[in-house]
Structure 1
Amino acid sequence: MTAAFVLGINMAVAGIFAVAFTVVAATNRSARGAWWLALGCGVGIVNAGLEFLLRQQADPVPVSIAIFLVFLSALSFALIGVARHYRVEPPWTAMATIWIVTVLLVPVVFSMTYGSLSRLVLYQLPYFAMQALFGMMIWRSGRRQPLDLLLVALQAVGATLYLLKPLFAILVGTARTPQDYMATTYAAISQSGSVVVLIATGLVMLLVTMRDTTAEMIARSETDPLSGVFNRRGFERHAEAALAREGKAALIAADLDHFKQINDSFGHAAGDGVIAHFAAMLAEAAPSEAIVGRVGGEEFAVLLPAALLSDGRLYAEAVRAAFASAELPVLGVDRRFSASFGVAQWMPPETLPDLLHRADTALYRAKSGGRNRVCVALGDLPPTPVRGAA
């Protein structure tokens, strides 16, 4: 298999991935890095084309320098794309440093004897540094799912490959001139290694993009757009999963008091603002593992995993007091609001609907008892001692 044939495969693979990432970017706005990844693959096609053009040059230096810098550009664009996807800031300082060093290396590298070990090492050094940044950036993003770890491993392999290329050149020999590069065994080995890493990285990155896009779609389908917390579907799914994991939990049902009057007096926009403020208070006061959901118009539910009835009551009292004393100038509404709460302790093997029903029963007692208060489910209270009992 000749290097020219492998390079042609590289061009085709880069083109396929360029189209694939372009389609992803065009059809999914949340795929933040797809445009950059498509650009990186597109520039990779240009780089391969320059490799074919090099054979026709009487003076190979201009095209050789272009190949050197264009491929580094392709890596840079891909690095920005990966950073955007992982929602981290691209390592601009490190990238700028690599580019400055690379530009300074250009007159040095291309004045050296072609095929010498020192030239081979300096030529591959910027590629190694840029590829290493890929893995470091993904690792520092904190995402460690299997596909993310596989992507980090592939970047390590790619970076190592750049370090090994000078060794391969020494072992199998390389061309005497740049124009003869494509006819060497070293070129075939180098291009073969590159195409394997390119295909593997591209496929894994596409899988990562699809995984995260699917997760975002599920999250959007389970999130209430007004309050920013889970909708009923999302709350029930996550709450049931939490109950399956935990041995105990407390559930708080909450309802805004006299909400119809707010809408009637100040309009639905003001009512929406009150709902958003109340949801924010529920979420901010809850521990990180809590599941907060808007399960009705002005009705909310909060599941506190690994919590007791007393924990749920303390949480509900804290939110109740904060909300009742807060001044919420929502769309010109200058008044205070209140909410009522019902708290229930999960008692296995009851189901989530049973738990919600008991919390709602306690909530209705809080409503009928005057509102702006917290009531607990009677079934959770300890039995009252009987006087005279032994």
Structure 2
Amino acid sequence: MASILCSEDQFSCSVCVEILKDPVTIPCGHSYCMGCIKNCWDQTDHTGVYSCPQCRETITPRPVLRRNTVLADIVEKLKKTGPNRPPVQSYARPHVPCDFCPGREFKAVKSCLTCLASYCETHIMYHSEVATFKRHKLVNAIGNLEPKLCAEHQEVLEVFCRTDQMCICWLCIQVQHRSHDTVLAETERNMKQKQLGEIQQRIQERLKEVKELKQAVESLKRSACIEIKESDKIFTELIRSIEKIHTEVIELIGANKKAAVNQAEGRMKKLEQEIAELRRRNDELKQLSEIEDHIHFLQNFQSLCATPEAGDLPSVTVNTDISFGAVRKAVTELKDHIEDFCKGELVKITTKVNETAVYTLGSRSSDRCLKGKAFLPVKHFIYRDILPFWKDLTPQ
């Protein structure tokens, strides 16, 4: 007996690679921990075929497991007389613990989505040595495997139902989701991950719009300032009788410049807010895309990829060539044709000012554009205030 007890390997379970606990001997003669062999057979219970993990001998029906009392006594003596060699590895905390390490928990290096368990370096070897377990799905160690399990059938979630937008198991396809559009979770994840490129493209489009708007606003400011100065020079050459019109035109340009700038700045603020939100979502989706767990990815992808509450802003066509040259020409003509100004030239000035726009609005889904005016209509100003004034100045 002493010669037998000198070796722990003879009394180790080939599943957990530890000294046998509650040893049972199956019909082929091999012995295992009762919990280990029970867990192995539970995985194939739906097939009705059971086999030995070592010799692969098929056993049907499922044998009733009974504790091998003789082997249990030998194991107890071995524990008392022989050293219990723990595997050389780091302890689990704060990492994912191995589900099969007795006593102190060691760090798990892999998680099996088929067994729904995590394994350390020692216990994961069984998945590379035993043919049946080589087909299992292994990923880097992750905690809380319960969400990867179907709540109704207790099977691994490996399928995605596009009809109901949820992760399901293979049994769900045969029952609740029989006629639904279903694909492998990995396939759906790869498709959804392509949407990252669409978000990045949208960011680039918004950045381009912001840049063009900033350039247009600066051009508008410079042009408006120049025209105010030029108009001032022209109007100061006019007689005192037209000083009222001079003041009205300056106020017209200044007021509408302010309205156009405010409108453009408001547009830029909305675009910058959308860019910030898209960048935040892009960063979160990048982090999510690095996780190997397909189920975690799919369960969190939809909420991160949802359209922002503000929705898509309409596209804009920025006027990059802003000039008040037409206004200056009209003012010069006003100087030369003062007698006819009240009938035609002031209307022309107003028309030219109103045509100066920072950008044009348009729907992103159609070619129909609505021009965003930089200046407000002043038709009522012309007929209410200017025409009576010029009528009094016109020679009779």
Pick the TM interval, shorter chain: under 0.3
TM-score by length of 1: 0.24
Structure number with higher relative contact order (C-alpha < 8 Å, ≥ 6 residues apart): 1
Q: Which has the higher helix share?
A: 1
TM-score by length of 2: 0.24
Is the radius of gyration larger for structure 1 or structure 2? Answer: 2
